[in-house]
Amino acid sequence: MSKIKIVAATGCPTGIAHTFMAEESLKKAAQELDVEIKVETHGQAGANNELTSEEIQEADGVIIAADKNVNAYRFDGKPVISVSVGKGIKDAKALINTIIEGEASIQNSNGGNDTTDTEKVAKDTNQGGSISHTIYKHLMNGVSHMLPFVVGGGILTAISFLFGIYSADPEHETYNPVAEFLNNVGGLGFEIMVPVLAAFIAESIAKRPGMVAGFIGGLIASDGGAGFLGAIVAGFAAGYIIYGLSNLLEKIPQSLSGFKTIFLYPVLGFLITGALMTILVGPMSIINNSLQSFLSSFQDGNPILLGVIVGAMCAFDMGGPVNKAAYVTGTALLTEGNMYFMAGVSAACIAPPLITAFATVFFRKYFDRSERNAGSVNFILGSTHITEGAIPFAAKNPIVVIPILMFGSSIAAVITYVIGIEVPAPHGGFLVLPVVTGAIQWVFAILTGSIIGALCYGWYRRLAFKKTNNDMYQSTNGENADDTQKLA
């Protein structure tokens, strides 16, 4: 009997950690279940190990573990399971068993191979997963494409500050032309952040025509001061406007499909999206400014409460939607010149992997070899602002471990805000220490939160280890007692 064949696609918003952790989990589970699997990963550099049409056709089922668009229309007619990337990491064996047992539903867009790319991807919006997961997937597609602009622009801007805070100003005495160049190039990355976010939210919904309309909507949001909230509204509006147009124009003959794509979608998409965003940009800018003022008031009035909120958000789902809400808010405030908020966000994102890493060092005998190896890697991941390294540890007992991670992250963020540290770069972890205002204090804040969290986590593992051994001892004694009674 031939092996079951499965193909899979994984993808997370950042394309750094979750994507490949899900790939590894699926491959490991497939090996244990004696199943043949090929996993296509949608990382930051694009799709790797791409699935061919022949491999998809021969597969007995498809697993989509992604929080971004992976072109699911390719799998029409196949049994498909569509879940978040987190489930791909935690429940890989259960997902594969669902395919083996024939419980996956058949995906059918009713489109065939002659539908346009726009129509295919538009139909994906109603395929697989809940409505909330679908919306989240579109949003994270925008975030994943936005992040390189944020990181590249933010770090170049941060490096320009090494020459002096005002060194990019030609009229200041500390002016340096290199600093001006770095600041200008980095600033362009920040300026394009909002249109790119909107464009790729829309692209996830309605492919290229959606992207074009979304970019225009994002530009209107950016120029009007609506910020990233305006970009989100523009992206979803543009995507579903093009989706609606594709339904209205679907009866146009196939021979005129090029006319739709080249002429009708751009013109009508620009017109409708532009008109809608022109109306909404005013209210959205007020909401955006109010949100920033609200967070800034916490920062100035109660940094402890702000630190607790930010720390809990960043460690709650470690790269998921709650974490991303805090991170995107930090990057938005960074573009407004607020470098305090991002300092706490970065500290809270760095802490979880370091908590698990320190715990495997301080309480070594309570972790197995694979966990100790993962802990060593987490020193590197945490130091470079990759929060996802803590997920395998949290997944084993999330009810206990996640609150510990939130506690440690909150301590790091609270100390950061109380001291008043500034971090002008949105990513990079300890690599951006040269541009951090109060770098030594920042490292102290992060290490304090991480070590306290590690002590809590290690103590929990110690108690769990002792309880397991006691249960085994009692069970063994009980069996021996039964044997003794039988002999008597």
Using CA atoms, how far residue 451 sits from 15, 34, 359, 364, 427, in Å, is: 28, 41, 8, 14, 22
Give the C-alpha separation, 428 to 339, whole Å: 15
Is residue 309 within 8 Å of residue 251, measured between CB atoms?
no
Model confidence at 122, pLDDT cuts 50, 70, 90, reads very low
Angle between helices 265-301 and 227-248 (to 10 degrees): 160
End-to-end CA distance of the chain: 52
Give the C-alpha separation, 22 to 43, whole Å: 12
pLDDT at residue number 219: 92
Sign of the alpha-carbon dihedral angle for 330, 89, 152, 191 = negative
Give the C-alpha separation, 444 to 418, whole Å: 13
Give the 3-state secondary structure percentages of the chain, helix then strand then coil, rounded to 5.
75, 5, 20
Give the C-alpha separation, 483 to 488, whole Å: 9
pLDDT at residue number 112: 38
pLDDT at 5 over 60: yes
Is residue 289 within 8 Å of residue 327, measured between CB atoms?
no
Domains and CATH numbers, the chain: 5-108 (3.40.50.2300), 116-291 (no CATH), 302-477 (no CATH)
pLDDT at 117 over 50: no
- Structure-block tokens of residue 109: 């867009």
Give the C-alpha separation, 199 to 197, whole Å: 6
What percentage of the chain has pLDDT greater than the value 90?
19
More confident residue, 320 or 456: 456
Q: Which residues contact 470 (CB under 8 A, 6 or more apart)?
A: none
Task: Give the mean model confidence (pLDDT) for residues 235-245.
Answer: 92
Identify which of 59, 89, 98, 91 has the alpha carbon closest to the alpha carbon of residue 75: 59
Phi first, then psi: give them for residue 64, nearest 5 degrees.
-110, 110
Segment among 15-29, 290-304, 446-460 with least mean pLDDT: 290-304
What is the separation of C-alpha 432 from the centre of its chain, rounded to a whole number of angstroms? 21
Using CA atoms, how far residue 144 sits from 69, 201, 319, in Å, is: 10, 10, 11
Is residue 351 within 8 Å of residue 412, measured between CB atoms?
yes
Is residue 314 within 8 Å of residue 323, measured between CB atoms?
yes
- pTM confidence score: 0.64
Residue for token pair 């030594």: 440
pLDDT single digits (tens) 67-93: 877 888 888 888 898 888 888 888 888
Phi first, then psi: give them for residue 163, nearest 5 degrees.
-80, -5
pLDDT at 487 over 50: no
Identify which of 226, 409, 245, 380 has the alpha carbon closest to the alpha carbon of residue 317: 409
Task: Give the mean model confidence (pLDDT) for residues 276-297.
Answer: 78
Identify which of 88, 94, 68 has the alpha carbon closest to the alpha carbon of residue 24: 88
pLDDT at residue number 111: 41
More confident residue, 5 or 73: 5
Segment among 54-63, 165-174, 254-263, 274-283 with least mean pLDDT: 254-263
Which class for 459: exposed (0-12), middle (13-18), buried (19 or more C-beta within 10 A)? Answer: middle
pLDDT at residue number 342: 85
Residue for token pair 């941060």: 158
pLDDT at residue number 407: 93
Segment among 85-94, 291-300, 366-375, 445-454 with least mean pLDDT: 291-300
Model confidence at 163, pLDDT cuts 50, 70, 90, reads confident
Residue for token pair 């987490």: 378
Residue for token pair 């609606």: 244
pLDDT single digits (tens) 212-232: 999 999 999 888 877 777 888
Sign of the alpha-carbon dihedral angle for 420, 425, 430, 435 = negative
What percentage of the chain has pLDDT greater than the value 70?
84
Give the C-alpha separation, 220 to 255, whole Å: 34
Segment among 23-32, 48-57, 177-186, 392-401 with least mean pLDDT: 392-401
- Structure-block tokens of residue 73: 């229309």
Task: Give the mean model confidence (pLDDT) for residues 33-57.
Answer: 86
Pairing type for strands 61-66 and 5-11 reads parallel
pLDDT at 121 over 60: no
Enumerate the β-bridge partners of residue 106: 79
Mean pLDDT score of the chain? 80
Dihedral angle of Cα 322, 328, 334, 339, to the nearest 10 degrees: 20
Pairing type for strands 105-106 and 46-48 reads unpaired
Pairing type for strands 79-83 and 61-66 reads parallel
Model confidence at 14, pLDDT cuts 50, 70, 90, reads low
Give the C-alpha separation, 446 to 423, whole Å: 13
pLDDT at residue number 113: 37
pLDDT at 453 over 90: yes
pLDDT single digits (tens) 454-470: 999 989 888 888 777 66
Model confidence at 406, pLDDT cuts 50, 70, 90, reads very high
Query: Which residues are identified as catalytic?
Result: 12
Q: Which residues contact 419 (CB under 8 A, 6 or more apart)?
A: 438, 441, 442, 445
Give the C-alpha separation, 356 to 381, whole Å: 11
pLDDT single digits (tens) 327-351: 777 777 776 677 778 888 889 988 9
pLDDT at residue number 474: 59
Model confidence at 179, pLDDT cuts 50, 70, 90, reads confident
SS3 40: strand
